[in-house]
Amino acid sequence: MGCGALKFGSFTLKSGRTSPYFFNAGLLSSGPILAVLSEAYAGTIVAAQQPSDSNISPLPSFDVLFGPAYKGIPFAASTALTLHTAHSISVGFAYNRKEAKDHGEGGSIVGVPLNGQKVVILDDVMTAGTAVREAIELVRKEGGEVVGVVQCLDREEVGKDGVSSTTKEVEELIGGRVKAILRMRDLIEWLAREGRTAEVGAMREYREKYGLKD
């Protein structure tokens, strides 16, 4: 909220849903903020790779972080750096061009070639999963295998069928893990602690309509 990346009001999302809050990851654009964000992404990845007592499989080892253009580009680059410096994990990173280049080396992918690589996609926020599905298709088209997705914010909403978890839908699509740094419930808890009653009410009403019932 300090940099304006999280706003409250009325916003039409890419999914077509009207939301009482909006997360603009493009405003996470200063050195200090990127340092904290990359640490959070890297920490979430490392934690997801640890075995647990549940039946959920850990995030497997992977080769490449993929940051969908444009917002995902600095996230992939800074997180690859943090994984190396803070966790001694060496991975490459890649991102896509919005329009394929028709000169020089050509193509639509910049960075590590994806063919034959295990890939983790870094996403900013997932609602109905529209954008991440596009990223998955793009990686597959380049010959990569998506083994996981890590989001900055999981809105914890139902998917396109209005019933299933978007996260579960994407996990079934890739046969891998989907993790998040923050969830909608974390935002609601924070707003409640801050005494922001109006925002809490709007968030809970929205969650009742579109939220995952668990």
Whether residue 65 contacts residue 79, with contact meaning beta carbons closer than 8 Å, is answered with: yes
Q: Which amino acid does the sequence have at 130?
A: T
Asked if 101 is an active-site residue, the reply is yes
Distance CA 34, CA 68 (A): 16
| Range list of H helices, the chain | 31-48, 72-87, 130-141, 166-174, 184-193, 197-210
Catalytic residue among 84, 87, 101, 160: 101
The DSSP 8-state label assigned to residue 112 in this structure reads S
Asked if 209 is an active-site residue, the reply is no
In this structure, what are the phi and psi dihedrals at residue 127, rounded to the nearest 5 degrees?
A: -110, -85
Interacting residues of 119 by C-beta distance below 8 A, sequence separation 6+: 62, 63, 64, 65, 66, 94, 139, 144, 145, 146, 147
Q: Which residue has the tokens 């190396």?
A: 84
Active site residues: 101, 103
